[in-house]
């Protein structure tokens, strides 16, 4: 059954002008639709929020979530926070059945994590050695929705600290293979040592990126390589340090240092012109539905409020190839009683959420 014809009026972001909009067959139109039900009058209409780094299918402690109700619950928690599109940055679970449910957010997948053997959270990644990386990148590119996720660094127990997972000389071929398959590549990195090889090999995005340096930020800006800082997750670094202190004191020291500089890194990235997007790293140790917290964290780190909001809405949607509020696009929007550009606190209080032309 097609969604009902609807009418909304209000200030449409990011442009900022007051407009009347209609929804016909689940899509936006500026042409009046006779008999349409008015569901929002006044307020601010924001293109659906985006969590650009989350994990549907990973539960507490990193355990896979196989139960369909559990998967649906994770997606609903995001939707209830106004998130209407997710970039799933690696999941051990096939979540494509969720695509058939019209009341759940759009999920843009990166397949499974690709990690070095015994160098990541057990059970989450495809684990392999460098000589097999290119072939596996092609496999995951075909399983995802235009993204591949590498684990760029992790603790090396023999060294007692963070260390790169991949030799720099295998990365250009792996990233080129993904590009040939029509996919972009992103990588988990906490520390600094893995970053030069990844950036110079042509990677498209860095997740977390707490080890980024000024010279690499300049190169990323020139290449238009994005960063998703996941500051909600970075708040856990002191706990990671404490947990590892006894066995791996060097690692503990590194994690505390990265935590202390994390806000400055985000601010420097933004000021350098690096595209910055909002992601929570929900799944595992982070609850779903915390995108407002991440937007606040980006703002505290130094992004102007409107830039932090864009990083979780219209800019992120464009980056993922998703439309905003425009003629013929799927009618995805969140309506607020006040201007979220002026007061980010309103993100926690959506008045109405419209997903594919349905009020949810």
Domains of the chain: 6-47+324-359 (2.30.40.10), 49-319 (3.20.20.140)
Percent of the chain beyond pLDDT 70?
Answer: 100
Q: Is the pLDDT of residue 222 over 70?
A: yes
Beta bridge partners of 8: 21, 40
| Average pLDDT estimate for 77-97 | 96
CA 351 – CA 353 distance, rounded (Å): 7
Burial of 221 (0-12, 13-18, 19+ CB in 10 A): middle
Q: Is the pTM of the predicted complex or chain greater than 0.95?
A: yes
User: Which SS3 state, helix, strand or coil, does residue 125 take?
Assistant: strand
Q: Is the pLDDT of residue 103 over 60?
A: yes
| Average pLDDT estimate for 288-293 | 98
User: Which SS3 state, helix, strand or coil, does residue 197 take?
Assistant: helix
| Segments of 91-160 assigned E as strands | 106-109, 113-116, 125-128, 147-151, 153-156
Q: Write the DSSP symbol of residue 276.
A: B
Q: Is the pLDDT of residue 210 over 90?
A: yes
CA 263 – CA 231 distance, rounded (Å): 8
What would you report as the CA-atom Rg of the chain, rounded to the nearest whole angstrom?
20
- pLDDT for res 286: 95
The Cβ of residue 360 has, within 10 Å, a number of other Cβ atoms equal to 15
Q: How high does pLDDT run on average in the chain?
A: 97
CB-hemisphere CA count at 13 Å for 169? 1
pLDDT bin (cut points 50, 70, 90) of residue 346 is very high
Task: State whether the Cα torsion 270-274-275-280 is positive or negative.
Answer: negative
| Average pLDDT estimate for 262-273 | 98
Of the listed ranges 60-74, 75-89, 140-154, 214-228, the one predicted with least confidence: 60-74
Distance of CA 80 to the CA centre of its chain: 17
Q: Among 278, 275, 356, 229, which residue's Cα sits nearest to residue 86? A: 278
pLDDT bin (cut points 50, 70, 90) of residue 62 is confident
CA 84 – CA 36 distance, rounded (Å): 23
Q: Pairing mode, if any, of strands 37-47 and 333-336? A: antiparallel
Residue-wise pLDDT tens digits, 121-179: 999 999 999 999 999 999 999 999 999 999 999 999 999 999 999 999 999 999 999 99
Question: CA angle 287-288-291, nearest 5°?
Answer: 110
- pLDDT for res 145: 97
- pLDDT for res 3: 83
Q: Is the pLDDT of residue 1 over 70?
A: no
CA 35 – CA 38 distance, rounded (Å): 9
- pLDDT for res 60: 85
- pLDDT for res 63: 87
| Average pLDDT estimate for 309-334 | 98
Contacts of 222 (CB under 8 A, 6+ apart): none
- pLDDT for res 131: 98
| Average pLDDT estimate for 219-240 | 98
Q: Among 130, 90, 85, which residue's Cα sits nearest to residue 356? A: 85
Q: Is the pLDDT of residue 244 over 70?
A: yes
């Amino acid at each position: 059954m097609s969604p009902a014809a609807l009418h909304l009026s209000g200030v449409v972001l990011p442009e900022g002008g007051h407009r009347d909009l209609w929804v016909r067959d689940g899509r936006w139109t500026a042409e009046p639709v006779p008999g349409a039900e008015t569901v929002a009058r006044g307020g601010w209409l924001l293109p659906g929020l985006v969590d650009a780094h989350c994990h549907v299918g990973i539960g507490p402690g990193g355990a896979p979530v196989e139960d369909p109700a559990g998967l649906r619950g994770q997606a609903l928690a995001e939707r209830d926070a106004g998130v209407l599109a997710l970039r799933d940055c690696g999941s051990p679970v096939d979540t494509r059945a969720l695509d058939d449910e019209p009341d759940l957010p759009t999920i843009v997948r990166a397949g499974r994590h690709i990690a070095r053997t015994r160098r990541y959270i057990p059970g989450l990644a495809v684990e392999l050695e460098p000589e097999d990386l290119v072939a596996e990148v092609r496999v995951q590119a075909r399983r995802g929705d235009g993204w591949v996720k590498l684990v760029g660094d992790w603790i090396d127990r023999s060294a007692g600290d963070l260390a790169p997972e991949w030799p720099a000389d295998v990365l250009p071929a792996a990233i080129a293979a993904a590009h040939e398959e029509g996919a972009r590549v992103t990588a988990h990195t906490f520390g600094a040592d893995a970053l030069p090889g990844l950036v110079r090999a042509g990677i498209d995005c860095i997740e977390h990126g707490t080890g980024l340096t000024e010279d690499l930020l300049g190169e990323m800006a020139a290449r238009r390589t994005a960063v998703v800082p996941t500051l909600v997750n970075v708040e856990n670094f002191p706990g990671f340090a404490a947990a590892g202190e006894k066995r791996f004191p060097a690692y503990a020291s590194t994690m505390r240092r990265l935590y202390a500089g994390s806000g400055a890194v985000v601010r420097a990235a933004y000021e350098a012109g690096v595209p910055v997007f909002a992601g929570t790293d929900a799944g595992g140790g982070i609850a779903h539905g915390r995108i407002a917290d991440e937007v606040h964290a980006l703002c505290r780190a130094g992004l102007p409020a409107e830039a932090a909001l864009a990083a979780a809405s219209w800019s992120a949607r464009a980056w993922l190839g998703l439309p905003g509020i425009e003629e013929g696009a799927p009618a995805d929007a969140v309506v607020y009683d006040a201007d979220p550009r002026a007061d980010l606190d309103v993100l926690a209080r959506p008045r109405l959420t419209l997903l594919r032309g349905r009020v949810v």
